[in-house]
Amino acid sequence: NAGVTQTPKFQVLKTGQSMTLQCAQDMNHEYMSWYRQDPGMGLRLIHYSVGAGITDQGEVPNGYNVSRSTTEDFPLRLLSAAPSQTSVYFCASSYGGQGSEQFFGPGTRLTVL
Amino acid sequence: RKEVEQDPGPFNVPEGATVAFNCTYSNSASQSFFWYRQDCRKEPKLLMSVYSSGNEDGRFTAQLNRASQYISLLIRDSKLSDSATYLCVVTGSGNTPLVFGKGTRLSVIA
- CA of B51 to nearest chain A CA: how many angstroms apart? 12
Q: Strand B19-25's sheet: what is its strand order?
A: B4-6, B19-25, B70-75, B60-65, B55-57
Cβ B43–A104 below 8 Å, yes or no? Answer: yes
pLDDT by residue for chain A (113 residues), tens digit each?
Answer: 889 999 999 999 999 999 999 999 999 999 999 999 998 888 999 999 999 999 999 999 999 999 999 999 999 999 999 999 999 999 999 998 888 999 999 999 999 99
Task: Nearest by CB to A99, from B31, B87, B102: name it.
Answer: B31
Euclidean distance between CA atoms B85 and B87, whole angstroms: 6
Euclidean distance between CA atoms B6 and B13, whole angstroms: 18
SS3 B82: helix
Q: How confident is the model at residue B92 (pLDDT cuts 50, 70, 90)?
A: confident
Q: Pick B107 or A99 by higher pLDDT.
A: B107
- A interface toward B at CB cutoff 8 Å? 33, 35, 40-45, 48, 56-59, 61, 90, 97-99, 101-102, 104-107
Residues facing B86 on adjacent strands: B37, B104
Cβ A99–B91 below 8 Å, yes or no? Answer: yes
The β-bridge relationship of strands B44-50 and B33-38 is: antiparallel
Q: How many CB pairs under 8 A join A and B?
A: 53
Model confidence pLDDT, tens digit, residues B30-40: 989 999 999 99
> CB of B95 within 8 Å of any CB in chain A?
yes
CB atoms within 10 A of CB B4: 24
CB atoms within 10 A of CB A65: 15
